[in-house]
Structure 1
C-alpha cells in the first residue's frame, strides 16, 4: 500500500500521509510527496492542496531516524535535499494555496512539511517541536524561517531547548492559523480550501506568486542542508541517534 494517498475532489487535491506508526519520512515517501505536488501544480482542475494524515494523533515525526543513524552518506544527503530543497521549490512554484491539517504530533522534518504550506490548521491536542538538538543534530533549516515568524528570542528558545509545545502556544506564536477541535481539523481545512477554490484561479496564482516572492527564504536552505550533513557525522549525533533508537525500541 502506498504511504501517501492522492485524490482530487471539488478542485481540491488531498495528499494524505499514511505511513504507520508516525509518518516518518523516507526518501521514497518524500519522492512520492513531491510527485503529488507536481501533479497538483500541473492539473488545471486543482485549485487548492490540502496535506493531512491518516494516522491518529500523528502528523509526521520527521525524517526517518533509521536512515539518519545508519544510512550511507549519499542517501542521507539525497533525503535532505529532497525534503528541504526540493520541497521548498515545489511549494514555492505550486501556483495555488496549500493547507496543512495537523491533527497530531509534528516534529523536526514534520514541522518543515507543515510549515512549507501557506496555512496551518491544528487540532487542540496537536503538538509541535524541534527536537533535533537533543540527538546531536543542528536544526539549521529552521534558523531562517522561524525567527521571522515568532521573533528571534522565542525562536532561539524553541530550537535550542527542543521542547514540545501545544497547538495553543503555536497559535499564540503565529505558527498556526487557527485551532479547532481534534475531530474537525480536516473539515476545517477543506472548508477553507473550498473558499480558496471559489476565487478566480488566475488571480489567485498571480497573487500567490507575488506573495511567495515577497516572503522568499529559499536562499538559506542550501546552507542549512550542509550544516545538517556536517552535524550528522559527529560523535554526538551518532550517540544521540543511537540513544533515541534504543529508547524507541525499549532497549
Structure 2
C-alpha cells in the first residue's frame, strides 16, 4: 500500500479495505476552507488510486457537526480576484473526483450538514446519519444562494424540496431527509459506527469491478437523454 498523503485539516485512515476520511476541525465546525478542500482532494485522489481500498467513508470529527459549510474567510483574506476565482475551482475538482472515484463513498453523518456540508453529504453515494443531525441550505438567510453546490443538490434532492430548502433556508431533520430518500439510514449516535461498519463490511465483499462499472454507469447516464442512456448502458 502506498504512503498516505500528508494532510493539515483532514485525517485519512485505512482499516482493511476501508478508508476513512475525516474533516478534522471540530472546534470550527469542520468548515470547507481552501486547505480542507485541498486535503479532501488529496485524500480522495489517493483512495481512488489505491487498489487495496474498496470503500470510502467520509465523516466529520466530533459528535455535533459533520460540516457547517464553507469557511469564506479562507477564500477572501489577502487574495486577488483571480486567486479567489481559482479557489472556487477546488469545489469543482473535489465533486468531480468524488463522482469519478470508482469506489462506493459512504457518508457517516455524525452531526449537522449545512450549506457546503449538505453538498458534501449529497456527493456521497450512501448516507448514514445520526438521528440528531439536521440538514439545510441556509445561505439565503445571509443574502446569498448556494451556487457552488446546486449541481450536486439538484441530483439528490427532489426539485420542489430543494427549492424550498434554498428559498426558505430552514433546517430539515434526518428523519425528514430519510423520508425523501436522501438519507439511507437514521440511527442513534451509539449505533452509528456499527451501522457504518455493517454496510462497509458488505460493500468490500462485492466485486470491485462490478461496483466500479455500475457506479460509473449510474452517474454518467443520469445526465443523458433516454435513448442515449439506453445506448450507453
Secondary structure (helix, strand or coil) at the match of 1:62 reads coil
Aligned equivalents of 1:125, 1:210: Cα separation in 2: 34
Q: 1:71 to 1:187 in 2, by over 3 A?
A: farther
Q: 1:165 to 1:26 in 2, by over 3 A?
A: same
Secondary structure (helix, strand or coil) at the match of 2:98 reads helix
Secondary structure (helix, strand or coil) at the match of 1:15 reads strand
The one of 149, 162, 167 equivalent to 1:155 is 162
Aligned equivalents of 1:102, 1:43: Cα separation in 2: 24
Contact 2:34–2:90 (CA<8 Å) still a contact in 1? yes
Task: Give the alignment of 1:89-128 within 5 angstroms.
Answer: 89-128=96-135
The structure in which a higher percent of residues are helix is 1
Contact 2:30–2:61 (CA<8 Å) still a contact in 1? no
Aligned equivalents of 1:145, 1:9: Cα separation in 2: 29
Secondary structure (helix, strand or coil) at the match of 1:25 reads coil
- 2:191 pairs with 1:184: yes
Aligned equivalents of 2:87, 2:132: Cα separation in 1: 29
In structure 2, the partner of 1:8 is: 14
The one of 172, 182, 192 equivalent to 1:175 is 182
Aligned equivalents of 1:132, 1:164: Cα separation in 2: 11
Contact 2:131–2:187 (CA<8 Å) still a contact in 1? yes
Aligned equivalents of 1:88, 1:4: Cα separation in 2: 16
- 2:207 pairs with 1:200: yes
Q: Deviations over 1:72-98 (max 9, x none)?
A: 333432332112x11121012101100
Q: Relative contact order (alpha carbons < 8 A, sep ≥ 6): 1 or 2 greater?
A: 1
Task: Give the alignment of 1:64-79 within 5 angstroms.
Answer: 64-67=71-74, 70=77, 72=79, 73-79=81-87
**Which segments of structure 1 move beyond 6 Å, counting only runs of 4 or more?**
none
In structure 2, the partner of 1:33 is: 40
Cα drift, residue 152 of structure 1 = 2.2
Q: Cα RMSD (Å) of the superposition? A: 1.9
Q: 1:150 to 1:34 in 2, by over 3 A?
A: closer
The one of 58, 80, 88 equivalent to 1:80 is 88
Aligned equivalents of 1:153, 1:38: Cα separation in 2: 34
For structure 1, the 5+ residue unaligned runs are: 218-251
Cα drift, residue 141 of structure 1 = 3.9
The normalised TM-score by structure 2 is: 0.85
Q: 1:7 to 1:71 in 2, by over 3 A?
A: same
Aligned equivalents of 1:145, 1:38: Cα separation in 2: 19
